[in-house]
Chains A and B, each alone.
Chain A
Amino acid sequence: MSFDDIKNLLTEKLGDTVITGEETGGLQPALLINPDDIAAVCLELRNNPKTYFDFLSSLSGVHYNDETNRYGVVYHLASIPYKTQLTLKISKAHPKESNELPEFKSVTPVYRTADWHEREAYDMLGIYFEGHPDLRRILLPDDWEGFPLRKDYQNAEFYKGIRID
């Protein structure tokens, strides 16, 4: 299925509000999805016999660091039967001085591989995934403060009372 067919299929099945836009400038076109619908979209794309995107290649958290301080998640899906690839993107503005983390829906029920990828995104960028079974830090120690891949991350001066030079 071509990129436009997938777009039509999603609008037909899940309504007009699911797709909020598209990016076709680069080498790989990407669909911008409404953040609330991402789990439903992934489930549909995985189970529909016309698409069968059954392999989640990669899930990356991104801090865009623009005027609205957007946080996003990028999903790279691959279909093994059809040998096609698809990029889905969700993003959300998040106030800089907020004490809350940006929140997205987890796709772990659809792709189990998202489990560790989402933990990594939580660990590195502080993105909270609602519905994740075990959202702990994965690469850094549990008591680490801050989220290192955020663009506004400041290196800590002390780690457990030891000065970091």
Chain B
Amino acid sequence: MVITNPKYEEALLRYNKKIAGASVEDMVLNVGPQHPSTHGVLRLELITDGEIVKEVIPHIGYLHRCFEKHAESLTYQQTIPFTDRMDYLASMNNSHAFVMGVERMMGIDKDIPKRVEYIRVLVCELNRIASHLIAIGTYGIDIGAFTPFLWCFRDREHIMGMLEWASGSRMLYNYIWVGGLFYDLPVGFEERCRDFVEYFKPKMVELNQLLTDNQVFISRTANVGVLPLDVAINYGCSGPMLRASGLKWDLRRIDNYSAYPEIDFEIPIGQGLMGKVGDCWDRYKVRVDEIEQSLRIVEQCLDRLQKELKRTPDFDPRAKMPRKTIPKAQDYYVRCEGAKGELGFYFITDGKSEIPTRVKSRGPSFNNLSVLPELSKGVLIADLIAIVGSIDFVLGEVDR
């Protein structure tokens, strides 16, 4: 096939012309793809006038690993490890979303044992804490605070250790399977997890004293990169990014999936305590508050898992696993609250094979990042780094 119509090339020519034309009076500055503050391999092309950023053109795709193409040639169970590699800082949340979608299409989502659901929520929330810890720690380092980064990584290491104990892997777990789990939690996990919660709570107070209320940090982030709510919604922002703009929108409450309806937790939103609602400090603060809420969820899960949902010798987490995963022919879009926002998978199945016809993944980071050009018009270059850090994207999920 030879594509001849010149209009398909128009946008590319326009872009090339813009870059070539801009360099006469303004400076074109590349940030990334190997710049540490881009959190991976994001390349930002800035058109700058002195220190002022006139325009940002993000270039993504350096970490594109063909998730959708892979998913079209593998069975559902085989695709789960690939979902882990999308948002590699919160792998459990990814596989949870994917697995939930497949289970609903199979019609077995109501048969999943309560203990399995609670374990899933437990590991997801632990992983969410780990993900937010990285967001906070690396945000500090972007702005010039080195200590919080080390503290966050020290505490995250405990979570990594626990999840490794459960699944055998430190980051990419492949723990949640269609119809169940890889294994039950190891004996003693609940106790160790409770110890961690007790250990971690005072550490959060310390972290708040060190970073949240730090005047230097506040000066760098408050009133910077203010994202109004209507813009956030129109750009499809979700998760902490949307909540920081002042909207109580959390799919764990809206859709009430898995064990979340039985769990009590608050949804923190940005209140503009240090500046305007929706600035970088609010986005940071929402993550800090969410860690506290996640700890509450973890505690409630542990309560249930240690009392009425205790492990029994004959409990088999793979009991409900279908022998053949063949959903009937349909389309289904599943969404759930990942660590970064609304994580969605769109399946098209033909009802005959174990391999889906089409899988589209809607990564929250992809949408959250797309607001960056709008957010950083006319800011200083140093503020751009603060804005990029506050979005908290993972390039594995942006590029998939």
Residues of A within 8 A of B (CB): 23, 25-28, 30, 54-58, 60, 62-63, 74, 76, 78, 80, 83, 85, 87, 97-101, 111-113, 115-116, 124, 126, 128, 132, 134-136, 138-142, 146, 148-149
- The yes or no answer to B12 lying at the interface (CB within 8 A) is yes
Chain A to chain B: the 5 pairs with minimum beta-carbon distance, closest first:
A26-B330, A113-B236, A60-B360, A139-B61, A58-B362
Residue numbers in A under 8 Å from B399 (CB-CB) = 139
Check if A80 sits within 8 Å of B249, measured CB to CB: yes
CB A29 to nearest CB in B, in angstroms, measures: 10
Check if B370 sits within 8 Å of A87, measured CB to CB: no
- The yes or no answer to B108 lying at the interface (CB within 8 A) is no
Residues of B within 8 A of A (CB): 1-5, 7-8, 10-12, 14-15, 60-61, 64, 66, 68-69, 72, 104-105, 231, 233-236, 247, 249, 254, 328-333, 335, 342, 344, 346, 348, 358, 360, 362, 366-367, 370, 374, 399-400
Bound together, the chains give a CA A85 to CA B233 distance in angstroms of 15
Choose one: B4, B68, B328, B346; the contact of A124 (CB below 8 Å): B68
Choose one: B236, B331, B370; the contact of A23 (CB below 8 Å): B331
15 contacts between A and B (CB under 8 A): A23-B331, A26-B328, A26-B330, A58-B360, A74-B346, A80-B247, A80-B249, A113-B236, A116-B366, A138-B60, A138-B61, A139-B60, A139-B399, A142-B12, A148-B66
The number of inter-chain residue pairs (CB within 8 angstroms) is 113
Check if A101 sits within 8 Å of B3, measured CB to CB: yes
Residue numbers in B under 8 Å from A80 (CB-CB) = 233, 247, 249
Check if A136 sits within 8 Å of B15, measured CB to CB: yes
Closest to B346 in A: A60
Choose one: B64, B234, B344; the contact of A111 (CB below 8 Å): B234
Residue numbers in A under 8 Å from B235 (CB-CB) = 112-113
Bound together, the chains give a CA A51 to CA B176 distance in angstroms of 36
Residue numbers in B under 8 Å from A54 (CB-CB) = 233-234
Residue numbers in B under 8 Å from A124 (CB-CB) = 68
In the complex where A134-B15, A140-B64 touch, is A56 in contact with B331 (Cβ < 8 A)?
A: no
Closest to A123 in B: B61
Bound together, the chains give a CA A132 to CA B15 distance in angstroms of 14
CB A53 to nearest CB in B, in angstroms, measures: 11
Check if A62 sits within 8 Å of B358, measured CB to CB: yes
Bound together, the chains give a CA A59 to CA B249 distance in angstroms of 20
Check if A101 sits within 8 Å of B330, measured CB to CB: no
Bound together, the chains give a CA A101 to CA B129 distance in angstroms of 45
Residue numbers in B under 8 Å from A134 (CB-CB) = 11, 14-15
Bound together, the chains give a CA A59 to CA B95 distance in angstroms of 21
Residue numbers in A under 8 Å from B104 (CB-CB) = 27
CB A84 to nearest CB in B, in angstroms, measures: 10
CB A54 to nearest CB in B, in angstroms, measures: 5
Residue numbers in B under 8 Å from A23 (CB-CB) = 331
Closest to B368 in A: A113
Bound together, the chains give a CA A111 to CA B232 distance in angstroms of 11
Residue numbers in B under 8 Å from A148 (CB-CB) = 66, 69
Known pairs A27-B105, A28-B333, A101-B5 / 8 extra A-B pairs, C-beta < 8 Å? A26-B332, A60-B358, A76-B344, A85-B333, A128-B7, A136-B12, A139-B399, A146-B1
In the complex where A57-B342, A138-B61, A139-B399 touch, is A27 in contact with B69 (Cβ < 8 A)?
A: no
Check if B344 sits within 8 Å of A58, measured CB to CB: yes
Residue numbers in B under 8 Å from A62 (CB-CB) = 348, 358
Residue numbers in A under 8 Å from B69 (CB-CB) = 148-149
In the complex where A60-B346, A80-B249, A100-B5 touch, is A113 in contact with B367 (Cβ < 8 A)?
A: yes
Choose one: B2, B348, B358; the contact of A99 (CB below 8 Å): B2
